Structure 1
């Protein structure tokens, strides 16, 4: 049983209702007295076992291991995915038979020997760093076209799994590493990368043939560089033609990129890894696309044939096999060209160009062929929100298929009935649901309830698997029982609802509170995996209140959530916020958590990676606030690009709005508000304490960017342009520029082996802070990369953060911090 409470908050609430009658007051008093009593009983019963940081980062994982890489067999009868049913971060391939309901583990990766890490090329090491892999085991696989076998790489070699009998065939067994294995369309061959060249195995003849021979430490064939995988998001760099006679591939010359050094101090002597990661304003790798004739081993280069400083975001063969669709982004990132490339002679034709005077959001451009390659479906933000368009390749005519102040976040497939399946924010930004668009332009919503869905659709949409979660339920795999869907009337206006002039400012006034005391899994879902550990049910998960703020900067609506300590749930804190109840209890310290990425989203009705730590902090007596600041995903183009040329500008003002809101609450200690974050969140934390001294009393910045001149080209130049052209934008956006402003309690945490935000960023800031003669704290983790992944390090890290806040926000001496 669940309940939903919504509270309109603000002076307008009283004006609309007028002065209440005495009888009404009596009923309200009786109602809230009963509710308070029920809440107190519920609190006492639901407190559960104490959540510790040690339990959060110990095996078996409390929330289990999230299943990933879901893929239906070509006939749509079986679902394969990566998982561990014992809560240990070591992945095997599992197969679910949708007809029988049988679930079985298909591999035993732990029994496969040899670790090929030392045999990797530098290109593979740089790419591996971008995957942020947690744990071990198998990380990718591919169904054969006939569905009888599964191909997967593991520890540097390639394996073929017979799905029926479970036998394993080792396709390679070499001293070097093989990667990116891919079946030919007929399943008779497997292409892969070895030492930066493309190779092919003929499965019937058991022959291995090298197709390219120019690969070297600085010239990559069929494999991208760091920026391709980390920022551009290209998951692979070669593609079979539909008839299997040719392979399109990207060639990258990385020799112009300046090497960055990553030291490793653990050992008798210091070891150094040399990474090819370009920095803002520096030289990128140079790329071009070739069409490789598999039989002749000859390459035809797409025009212009010389290697250039561009980004190839997507490459797709047309179903007719005669041409390629290439999505090419110039270095300035203000354009995205849709290019048709002739596969015979390499000639090109520009079909369409998406333009944005800030930057084109390539992460949200999805493409699908329709009508056997005669027309192309694609999404674009060109009208303010990411919507669906259809382009006729012969005429160039473009039709818009969806509209409204919502956006498409995934484009899945077109089924045999012509229905276009997609995921979107059409319900609200805090949720993701599955929809389809029929041939008459009508939208149908397929998933029900509240929560966060990630969908994988089988052939002709006969079966659909989803990874579903909500604020109290970690992600697991489910099968949709009902695929019909219900007609959905989406908003038809592209104009975001802007606050009226009279409503601008006043960041301390929330618009609406929404809270559920329970989050049931929707009934239309059939559960496949059960990931959480048995003791997960004994833990009381802190559930969020969702609400909206108006930014102090310009009145823009900012989505937020707030979590209260357990003892505050004896009463309804929202009644106090809305001046409908008097607060007579103690005052609490508060912490704002800042999400990473800059473009991520943390205010949503799904399981959040920081849910357990938020619960831990709440149990320790902290109020926790999180908000989706400017630049976050899900809120349209303007919201995303408001940070252009001004990082830690509008986004930081949104965080300050959150701080002002907290300080206005009668149960918050106004001079005991802290802030913490990781990566971009760490950058925002450092910027908050340095650019806005006095707003936050304490902060913990993990892996922060402190000088944007040191970060990679694509991400940084999207938002700040070239440093040579925008020196002032880089200065005001970099926390290091304000090092002499530190007045509050800053803790900086970094992994020495970080290959994303290099340890250099922390060292540079520390050097500046020392010269200012102010006190601060630093914690580094030798050998750890950006995620600081080991259990021991994570336990130490989160204990360090918790103690930092207990010391400065609660006044507890170190000896008493537990």
Structure 2
């Protein structure tokens, strides 16, 4: 055996025993309970005197609910007895702020703020959602599934606010020709029919005027499915989102489980592949609950709704098909035999065709994620997205004419961001606010419908999660205004003005404004401190008061190597590429070091920031690599979040190419600034990072000598629709984009050493991806690769044994090929 390899293996075997290291590999990959769980889902009590948060139990996935009393600082777990008087998250307040309502354990409660009295409104097994007070404060409205209920606070009576049935109206059936003949023959039948109809109308009219009666049902037809509903606070209107019943979701495969409790193989359905079928188009129906009328809200007047934004893409692909001799008679639509009349007719159809839309993607469990009512119920705004991903509209509703009125259109030749789409109504019930990327960066705007928009924030940074204070004077939001990697809470006056910094923590993950608007609770972290809870004055200027420190003594005793955030010059863009750089404590510029690049997953996420990383295990692994003589670079390549629209969409129809250019720039930076040996460079990453590892090894084999592709996408035609169609369109329409973006197309370029590791029950990036690539490499006669399969892991590994096995293999790969 080669002496260098023997030395590497000896190093590997003693890896967990070196006394001077910050952490061993076994500890880094162990259950993170040894670190201490991060604080999760913090929220205020409705009186603003306490804060609640969730914390995972040690050795279990169970989360305990904690309550911190701000006056005394005491922190206690809410046990079953105390739960009876606990508040729930996302409380809704009435307009006088004398009552608050919330959902706890699936049931609805009301808290009287003057005396603290708690009233349980429901006690049923069906979960409830979306509590809101009526505009006059006399009732509490809430939802179960897509059905809305109203609870009369004074009378203590609860009942349906509306009855909507996806059925045909049983009384709307018209008689056939035989029935009409009978009515013409027999006057007695006509009398009975007239009397029956009169009784029905009398009953309906009487029921409308009797507030103690259940509402009359609306029949919206048996050809639709109710996707979401939203009730106006004044109780006068209900918006219903529908889709065609029986919409074909597309063919799904079967995911196979081999290690099971039963001892037999088991199967579950996989998700639909991209382009196998588009999501169901949605339509809008406005129900007038007072007049008992229903109106369809047509989309025809939305600007751009009749455009064909993919026309040039379609023509490019059709041209390539003809050049390759793949076009068929059916493809030759411009054939002379079609005639001029046919061309005119096609052009006319294109001009009148309405694009399919959805009412945003987060309308889960019958909720209206893209629907916003003003507090008085007199104004309604709806967010609408084109299924082709190129347009987002925010439209208000003209109730008198039952029409949509466009208030803002955001269009993008690449794709509309799935983040930064918040919107709503200000406390004045007449001003619409929204977040838009129209300048290239997500910023906050406000406008009175029909008027001109006012930019409340501006700059080359991103804002998100706007929350208006109870008095309507301020918007609080999260932004990276100081630097792309530093996130803090800020505020801006609702009328516009200076963006004021509230926190100076550089790593605020989330915040919650107290009910009275005077305090701000923040979840904040740092590179080696998981999220903790703190509180400070809402006006800022003072240091926050820390309420938690969940780290274990063992973890706090460790000394860590803080990564430096550096700016890598780009050879392809004016913007630098932000990256985390790790180097040995005893770094010697006169030496040459092997280098490793880490490639984060998800594509559109941000890993170069000042806070606790999602990849905390990998961060510890990078420290270990530096202790073994490596330099490590972790880059926010193009496609990453936090750097604006152009950085995000650089990969449109071209995944894997701009990012690879950035990684190669990272190698050049390491060689120039960190004494890295450009002949000894490896990389690794999971999911999108695994995809990029493959692209690097296949397309730049002379730059990267070894790589570990973890749970990688190998062929984008096999991934899901929601993510992939945004970036690459549909594979049937745009095969060019898939061909240039799928690693399996470039597999013949592999020269270096490759490790493929994949969970066999991964229901995100399917295990089939790695199996198919394995077959391709077999056919290409490649032999410098291995595949590690994990029978009990999904996309994100959860078992410490699997983590350790995977990272032992990664370390061995680098030691064997880069040392």
Which bracket does the TM-score occupy, shorter chain normalised? 0.7 to 0.9
Structure 2 residue aligned with 1:102: 74
Structure 2 residue aligned with 1:30: none
1:354 and 2:410 matched: yes
CA-CA distance at 1:444 after TM superposition:
1.4
Structure 2 residue aligned with 1:311: 358
CA-CA distance at 1:270 after TM superposition:
3.2
1:413 and 2:460 matched: no
Among 538, 541, 544, the residue aligned to 2:563: 544
Structure 2 residue aligned with 1:804: 813
CA-CA distance at 1:470 after TM superposition:
1.6
TM-score of the superposition, structure 1-length normalised? 0.73
Give matches, 1:681-696, under 5 Å.
681-696=689-704
Among 786, 790, 794, the residue aligned to 1:781: 790
1:258 and 2:206 matched: no
TM-superposition CA deviations, 1:118-170 (whole Å, max 9, x none): xxxxxxxxxxxxxxxxxxxx9x95436477775244xxx75879998999999
Q: Distance in 2 between matches of 1:86 and 1:297?
A: 55
Residues 803, 331 of structure 1: alpha-carbon distance in 2 compared, 3 angstrom cutoff: same
CA-CA distance at 1:291 after TM superposition:
5.0
Residues 440, 715 of structure 1: alpha-carbon distance in 2 compared, 3 angstrom cutoff: closer
TM-superposition CA deviations, 1:214-239 (whole Å, max 9, x none): 599997644xxxxxxxxxxxxxx544
Q: Distance in 2 between matches of 1:106 and 1:435?
A: 32
- Name the SS for the 1:242 alignment partner: coil
- Name the SS for the 1:459 alignment partner: coil
Q: Distance in 2 between matches of 1:264 and 1:207?
A: 46
Q: Distance in 2 between matches of 1:357 and 1:726?
A: 14
1:436 and 2:491 matched: yes
Residues 701, 648 of structure 1: alpha-carbon distance in 2 compared, 3 angstrom cutoff: same
Among 255, 267, 275, the residue aligned to 1:280: 275
Residues 598, 666 of structure 1: alpha-carbon distance in 2 compared, 3 angstrom cutoff: closer
Instruction: Check the 8 A contact 2:103/2:128 in 1, yes or no.
Output: no
Give matches, 1:578-617, under 5 Å.
583=590, 585=591, 587-617=592-622
Q: Distance in 2 between matches of 1:218 and 1:142?
A: 35
Among 450, 457, 465, the residue aligned to 1:402: 457
1:241 and 2:214 matched: no
Residues 161, 275 of structure 1: alpha-carbon distance in 2 compared, 3 angstrom cutoff: farther
TM-superposition CA deviations, 1:9-41 (whole Å, max 9, x none): xxxxxxxxxxxxxxxxxxxxxxxxxxxxxxxxx
Which is worse superposed, 74-83 or 49-58? 49-58
Instruction: Check the 8 A contact 2:694/2:709 in 1, yes or no.
Output: yes
Residues 240, 61 of structure 1: alpha-carbon distance in 2 compared, 3 angstrom cutoff: farther
Among 365, 387, 390, the residue aligned to 1:331: 387
Q: Distance in 2 between matches of 1:791 and 1:299?
A: 56
CA-CA distance at 1:537 after TM superposition:
1.2
Instruction: Check the 8 A contact 1:682/1:705 in 2, yes or no.
Output: yes
Q: Distance in 1 between matches of 2:277 and 2:127?
A: 29
CA-CA distance at 1:756 after TM superposition:
2.0
Among 520, 524, 535, the residue aligned to 1:464: 520
- Name the SS for the 1:260 alignment partner: coil
Structure 2 residue aligned with 1:29: none
Residues 420, 171 of structure 1: alpha-carbon distance in 2 compared, 3 angstrom cutoff: same
Residues 349, 96 of structure 1: alpha-carbon distance in 2 compared, 3 angstrom cutoff: same
Instruction: Check the 8 A contact 2:381/2:424 in 1, yes or no.
Output: no
Give matches, 1:56-75, under 5 Å.
56=28, 58=30, 61-75=33-47
Give matches, 1:622-637, under 5 Å.
622-637=630-645
- Name the SS for the 2:419 alignment partner: helix
Residues 201, 91 of structure 1: alpha-carbon distance in 2 compared, 3 angstrom cutoff: farther
Q: Which runs of 5+ in 1 are unaligned?
A: 1-46, 113-137, 223-236, 487-522, 577-582, 811-818
Give matches, 1:699-738, under 5 Å.
699-738=707-746
- Name the SS for the 2:491 alignment partner: strand
Residues 420, 149 of structure 1: alpha-carbon distance in 2 compared, 3 angstrom cutoff: closer
- Name the SS for the 1:432 alignment partner: strand
1:171 and 2:123 matched: yes
CA-CA distance at 1:55 after TM superposition:
3.1
Q: Which runs of 5+ in 2 are unaligned?
A: 1-18, 168-220, 301-352, 361-369
Among 752, 766, 769, the residue aligned to 2:777: 769
1:651 and 2:670 matched: no
Q: Distance in 1 between matches of 2:757 and 2:354?
A: 40
Aligned length: 663
CA-CA distance at 1:247 after TM superposition:
5.0
Structure 2 residue aligned with 1:792: 801
Q: Which has the larger radius of gyration?
A: 2
